[in-house]
Amino acid sequence: MQSDVVKHYPVLLNELISIITPQYGGTFIDCTFGQGGYTKKILSYQNTQVIALDRDLESKKKADKISKEFQDRFIFKNKKFSQLDDLKIKNTNVRGIVFDLGYSTTQIKDPKKGLSFHSLGDLNMQMGINDFSAKEAINRLDAKDLEKIFKFFGEEKYAKKIASSIVKQRNKNKIDTKSLVEIIEKTKKKKNFKIHSATKVFQALRIFVNKEITELIYGLIAAAKVLKKDGILAVVTFHSLEDKIVKYFFKSLSEKKSISRYVPKIEESDTLFRMLEKKPRTPSKKELKENLPSRSAKLRYIVKKDDFYNFKTDILEKFEHLIEIENFGNKL
């Protein structure tokens, strides 16, 4: 009898563990708890503690099971990772903070979330703690706004045509998942057999609905603050836009002046982090064979050089145009 349970593969798990070294103990923050893959592995080492966050309410069910097994070493908060600062852990000796920006197979296949173009019914895409759904965005935003969302968040070549087709179609009927896919396929006409025609638009909507750009930027800033000296900030990305943001943030804090030279405690340098590897780590052939969706994953990390809380970063200015697009949600 075949099981209906979808197996979860924590992406780049071995590589992550080799970087954050939980075998030496310490407190770690799992900012994207999900199915608990990273958390369980970290807790398998003695003298470790994990503080886990996730905006998805479904994740709490998995977290409750881990809580029973590791009562004294595991804390779960149903929060977005941009709220990391709210945990008031400024004085906690945090040795590592990890982000896995991907979606689990369980989440993608959940019909209630409507993340997949294979889903039926209303568009949703809300991961928890949201202000609006994809259905509201598609049926209420004007063509120019939709075009920018598809173009900048999905790198969709036919963004303008698709946005125009959506506005025309919704004047007749409300658009659901199936009708959106049909609109995209008719508009694009040419088939790309490597990826589904709707992939980029659905990616763009998911980013927009969950404010993933704003979340990532504020999450990175908060993580950089709460880490202690020699602490490691590690991020696994799955598409070029995420990776571009992480790469810029890491590079700017390890190569440009990011801390005040007038602070007497800082004698070594005026950069907050040290980058040990410029190129990202990617899945092994073995992992790709076992879990094909990991093929786009990239793992980058940096090491904090000093116990320093406030620092300078221009990341908000650098990606201001993307944040402005996410703010189209204020119209809904």
Say which CATH number the domain at 179 has: 1.10.150.170
Residue 267 falls inside a structural domain: yes
Strand partners, 176: none
Residue 265 falls inside a structural domain: yes
Provide the pLDDT confidence category of residue 141 given band limits of 50, 70 and 90.
very high
pLDDT of residue 117: 72
pLDDT of residue 2: 39
Q: Do 17 and 102 have their domain in common? A: yes
**Is pLDDT above 90 for 70?**
yes
DSSP-H helix ranges across the chain: 13-20, 37-43, 59-69, 105-108, 134-140, 143-154, 159-170, 177-188, 199-209, 212-226, 240-255, 285-290, 315-318, 320-326
Q: Do 158 and 299 have their domain in common? A: no
CATH number at residue 240: 3.40.50.150
Residue 126 falls inside a structural domain: no
Residues 142-150, mean pLDDT to the nearest whole number: 98
CA distance 111 to 201: 18
Residue type present at position 56: D
Residues 222-231, mean pLDDT to the nearest whole number: 94
Q: Do 258 and 180 have their domain in common? A: no
Q: Do 79 and 149 have their domain in common? A: no
pLDDT of residue 308: 86
Q: Do 222 and 302 have their domain in common? A: yes
Residue 291 or residue 264, greater confidence: 291
pLDDT of residue 119: 77
pLDDT of residue 222: 95
Q: Do 178 and 223 have their domain in common? A: no
Residue 271 falls inside a structural domain: yes
Residue 325 falls inside a structural domain: no
pLDDT of residue 122: 81
Residue 2 falls inside a structural domain: no
CA 230-299-91 angle, 5° bins: 30
- Give the pLDDT confidence of 188-219 residue by residue, as tens digits: 977 676 788 999 999 999 999 999 999 999 99
pLDDT of residue 1: 34
How many domains, the chain? 2
pLDDT of residue 309: 87
Q: Do 96 and 18 have their domain in common? A: yes
**Is pLDDT above 60 for 4?**
no
Domain's final residue, options 164, 186, 209? 209
Q: Do 100 and 17 have their domain in common? A: yes
- Give the pLDDT confidence of 97-116 residue by residue, as tens digits: 999 998 766 666 676 766 67
Domain's final residue, options 178, 209, 240? 209
Q: Do 156 and 223 have their domain in common? A: no
Q: Do 236 and 291 have their domain in common? A: yes
Strand partners, 274: 303
Q: Do 221 and 267 have their domain in common? A: yes
**Is pLDDT above 60 for 6?**
no
Which domain covers residue 141, as residue numbers?
131-209
Q: Do 89 and 237 have their domain in common? A: yes
